[in-house]
């Protein structure tokens, strides 16, 4: 038997085991579906079990900031595991968690000095809502418990975070949800209504004022927080219009509502700074983050709160009765510290800021394709909205979107050597978020693959 035969036997065995026992996340099963088996990563590329390589155009899942195959991150995990593999933060602390909290507080703007660790982004969002509720109970405003978020926005899958999520199809199977989640418009300027379609600043004011309207409608004495991503992910990378966050901050201050910057995707260099609120010029009361903190080499997340929010708990007797067994895991914290060392040593944030205009210009070349309606995003985080009529911005029907995205684009892009996301949680888009070590060579490769596949997609339509 040749080495090729052996590899095929191993691949077939893995596929059979996966089909029988592995329940994928957000995945379809049955009907002969056989998801690719990913076995290795190096730099900006990944390999499947058949030895074919692909350009990672999504950083795994907006995660692998420093790139794949970083031996020093694996070594940091091993060193910590040999010293102290695990201990909880339930009334105890560990050196890696202490050092990481100190480092995150130093990066965070203003007085965001208190770090509550989780194991992922959804847990960080869940923690932020619970903190907002308890904070207002402790400070004499017990009715403030509701949250405002944006239409189509994704904030996680735990029951509380799901109530904040603005995607009806994701919520319907699990209703009734945790009560208290309400929606305001997102900042999709490409589809801004008249009279705002040609004035981004006026559109930003319009969207922000709808948050104030929602607070007024629900009653300011009932609303605890507004949850917003710096650049909204679901729907295809909606950047904030000029003045948007400045106005939202004013609104939150006026109504004594907490502003939560959900940076699970946007933190750690994705937009250009450690925290994207700094790139976009606003001061939140809470930051939620995860993904890029370790570049994916070990799971961790965090809720970072201001000193003001911590103050009611700083009396020697009041507890925030919330936590996770693996929150602030010492191995994950050690990996995060090593990952942040890479950020500083290699200047990854500066690299993003320097190359972001090149990435934008490269992707904007795709505007000459009839299927490309909009190219939008910030930093290393972009969405390309697909349309069937550029002049009218007409989008696809549900059946057409299913046929386009899942019937053709997802497989065709993968076969062409590009891993990215074809998504229809709003209008059909392709999302891109390459590792922060990527540069013009990778941008050109992404554009060329997209050009070829999208041209074929249009011909098929």
CA 87, CA 117: separation in Å to the nearest integer?
A: 13
Q: Which two tokens stand for residue 177?
A: 């949800």
Q: Taking a C-beta distance cutoff of 8 angstroms, is the pair 309, 299 a contact? A: no
Query: pTM higher than 0.75, yes or no?
Result: yes
CA–CA separation, 298 and 455 (whole Å): 39
DSSP 305: E
Fold match flag (36-57+349-460 vs 72-346): no
DSSP per residue over 310-341, as a string?
Answer: HGGG-SSS-------TTTT-HHHHHHHHHHHH
What residues contact 97, with CB distance under 8 A and at least 6 apart? 89, 117, 328, 330, 333
- Distance in angstroms (rounded) separating the CA atoms of residues 59 and 87: 30
Q: What is the third-level CATH fold of 72-346?
A: 3.40.640
Widest distance between CA atoms in the chain:
75
Whole-angstrom Cα distance, residue 196 to residue 373?
Answer: 18
User: Would you say 342 and 72 are in contact if contact means Cβ atoms under 8 Å apart?
Assistant: yes
Q: Which alpha helices (DSSP H) does 139-231 contain, by range?
A: 159-164, 168-171, 200-218
> What per-residue confidence (pLDDT) applies to 425?
85
> Please, which residues have CB within 8 angstroms of residue 326's CB and are 6 or more apart in sequence?
86, 119, 299, 332
3-state secondary structure of 228: strand
Question: How far, in Å, CA of 96 to CA of 111, rounded?
Answer: 22
How many Cβ atoms from other residues are within 10 Å of residue 142's Cβ? 12
pLDDT number for residue 10: 64
Q: State how far the Cα of 235 lies from the Cα of 426, in Å rounded to an integer.
A: 4
Domain segments of the chain as ranges: 36-57+349-460, 72-346
Dihedral pair phi/psi, residue 432, rounded to 5°: -135, 135
pLDDT, position 461: 79
Judged by DSSP in three states, 442 sits in: helix
The CATH code belonging to domain 36-57+349-460 is: 3.90.1150.10
Q: Nearest CA to 129 among 214, 256, 223?
A: 223
Query: Tokens for 126?
Result: 């869940």
Which residue reads 């004495």 in tokens?
A: 221
Per-residue pLDDT tens, the chain, 461 aa: give them. Answer: 455 554 566 677 899 999 999 999 989 999 988 899 999 999 999 999 999 999 999 999 999 999 999 999 999 999 999 999 999 999 999 999 999 999 999 999 999 999 999 999 999 999 999 999 999 999 999 999 999 999 999 999 999 999 999 999 999 999 999 999 999 999 999 999 999 999 999 999 999 999 999 999 999 999 999 999 999 999 999 999 999 999 999 999 999 999 999 999 999 999 999 999 999 999 999 999 999 999 999 999 999 999 999 999 999 999 999 999 999 999 999 999 999 999 999 999 999 999 999 999 999 999 999 999 999 999 999 999 999 999 999 999 989 888 888 889 999 999 999 999 998 888 999 999 999 999 999 999 999 999 999 999 999 87
């Amino acid at each position: 038997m040749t080495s090729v035969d052996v590899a095929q036997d191993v691949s077939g065995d893995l596929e059979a085991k996966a089909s029988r026992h592995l329940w994928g996340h957000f995945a379809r099963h049955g009907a002969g579906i056989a998801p690719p088996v990913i076995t290795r990563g190096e730099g900006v590329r990944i390999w499947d079990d058949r030895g074919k390589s692909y350009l990672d155009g999504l950083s795994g899942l907006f995660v692998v900031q420093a790139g794949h195959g970083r031996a020093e991150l694996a070594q940091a995990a091993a060193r910590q595991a040999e010293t102290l593999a695990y201990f909880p933060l339930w009334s105890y602390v560990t050196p890696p968690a202490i050092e990481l909290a100190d480092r995150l507080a130093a990066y965070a703007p203003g007085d965001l000095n208190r770090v509550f660790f989780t194991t992922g982004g959804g847990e960080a969002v869940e923690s932020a809502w619970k903190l907002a509720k308890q904070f207002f109970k402790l400070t004499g405003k017990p009715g403030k418990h509701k949250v405002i978020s944006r239409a189509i926005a994704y904030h996680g899958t735990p029951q509380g975070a799901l109530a904040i999520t603005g995607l009806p199809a994701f919520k319907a199977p699990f209703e009734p949800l945790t009560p208290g989640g309400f929606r305001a418009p997102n900042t999709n300027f490409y589809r801004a209504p008249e009279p705002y379609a040609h004035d981004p600043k006026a559109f930003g004011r319009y969207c922000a004022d709808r948050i104030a309207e929602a607070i007024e409608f629900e009653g300011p004495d009932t609303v605890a927080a507004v949850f917003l991503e710096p650049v909204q992910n679901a729907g295809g990378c909606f950047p904030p219009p000029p003045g948007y966050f400045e106005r939202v901050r004013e609104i939150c201050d006026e109504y004594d509502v907490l502003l939560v910057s959900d940076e699970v995707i946007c933190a750690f260099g994705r937009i250009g700074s450690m925290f994207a609120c700094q790139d976009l010029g606003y001061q939140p009361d809470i930051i939620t983050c995860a993904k890029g903190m370790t570049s994916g080499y070990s799971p961790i997340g965090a809720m970072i709160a201001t000193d003001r929010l911590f103050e009611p708990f700083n009396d020697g007797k009041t507890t925030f009765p919330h936590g996770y067994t693996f929150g602030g895991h010492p191995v994950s914290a050690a990996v995060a510290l090593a990952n942040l060392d890479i950020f500083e040593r290699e200047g990854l944030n500066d690299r993003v800021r320097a190359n972001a205009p090149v990435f934008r210009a490269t992707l904007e070349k795709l505007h000459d394709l009839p299927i490309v309606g909009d190219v939008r995003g910030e930093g290393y985080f972009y969405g390309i909205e697909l349309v069937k009529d550029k002049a009218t911005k007409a989008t696809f029907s549900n059946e057409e979107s299913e046929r386009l995205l899942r019937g053709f684009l997802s497989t065709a892009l993968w076969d062409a050597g590009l891993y990215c996301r074809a998504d229809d949680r709003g209008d059909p888009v392709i999302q891109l978020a390459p590792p922060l070590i990527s540069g013009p060579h990778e941008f050109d490769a992404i554009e060329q693959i997209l050009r070829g596949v999208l041209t074929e997609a249009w011909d098929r339509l």
